[in-house]
Amino acid sequence: MLFDSPLVVHVPHASRYIPEDMRRDFLCLDLDRELLLMTDLYCDELFDTEAERILFPVSRLVCDPERFRDPEEEIMEKVGMGAVYTRCSGGLPLRDIDALDREMILRRYYDPHHQRLTEAVRRRLLSWERCLIIDGHSFSPEPLSHESDQTTPRPDICIGTDSFHTSPRLSERAMTFFRRSGYECCLNRPFAGTIVPGAYYRRDPRVASLMIEINRKLYMNADGERNADFQKTVEVIGAFLDMMKEEC
């Protein structure tokens, strides 16, 4: 078996890629800056492991797989940042999109991604009777204006949990690991929650999930270049994922 563990690593926001045919929809004057602010840059390298990984292939500015598909369910729709963003993080218009474009984008990127994640979980349950999803993100050292938690200073590592899918033991293991590695660590602050595919959400306790959000100051500078601690951070996250593979 190629992926010999119940672990699935989900990295939804690491891509900066905007397909050529979509670039013309963007009104944002400084798209590079918006990409720098919004992308979880290098998270594909930081959350590297031999476990199965589900990476989103395009930028979250094209489509954000971590938002609810239904606008009624998604709280970030009110700032134009639901599954298909229409506003920049600073509130300015991002792009001009109608309902038909939105649906086309969701079918092209959102639906296949969720199918892949659901399928990865289904296969883990078949083989192992359990699955652990690690949802890998990073966040800006300073709060961005659209973010609901504006508290500073921000921790080094934020661990997101779900009351049904994250056992206290699992979140404790993660907190202890990162604290022992020398990081300041918070639970569900500044970001709460962790992804679980809809088919299993609050239904199947065999599916565990944990979000790990890394403060970008631990691995890059404000221009998006790797900093001196990059390799150390790669090693710590790698060791954490190895531990999770053994634990889950």
Amino acid at 86: T
| C-beta of 65 vs 197, nearer to Zn ion | 65
List, in order, residues 6 or more apart from 178 with CB less than 8 Å away: 156, 157, 159, 185, 236, 240
Contact 87, 93 (CB under 8 A): yes
Q: What's the closest the beta carbon of residue 217 comes to Zn ion, in angstroms?
A: 16
| C-beta of 14 vs 185, nearer to Zn ion | 14
Q: What's the closest the beta carbon of residue 40 comes to Zn ion, in angstroms?
A: 4
Residues forming contacts to Zn ion in the complex (CB under 5 A) are 13, 40, 137
Tokens of 26: 């963007």
Q: What's the closest the beta carbon of residue 216 comes to Zn ion, in angstroms?
A: 11
The H or E element spanning position 245 is helix 230-247
Q: What's the closest the beta carbon of residue 149 comes to Zn ion, in angstroms?
A: 14
| C-beta of 53 vs 137, nearer to Zn ion | 137
In angstroms, rounded to a whole number, what is the distance separating the alpha carbons of residues 83 and 74?
8
In angstroms, rounded to a whole number, what is the distance separating the alpha carbons of residues 155 and 238?
20
Instruction: Give bridge partners of residue 53 from the DSSP assignment.
Output: 9
| C-beta of 40 vs 52, nearer to Zn ion | 40
Q: Is 54 left (phi over 0), alpha (psi -120 to 50) or beta?
A: beta
- Provide the CA 235 distance to its chain's centre, in angstroms: 19
| C-beta of 6 vs 190, nearer to Zn ion | 190
Q: What's the closest the beta carbon of residue 11 comes to Zn ion, in angstroms?
A: 8
> At which residue do the structure tokens 């970008």 appear?
216
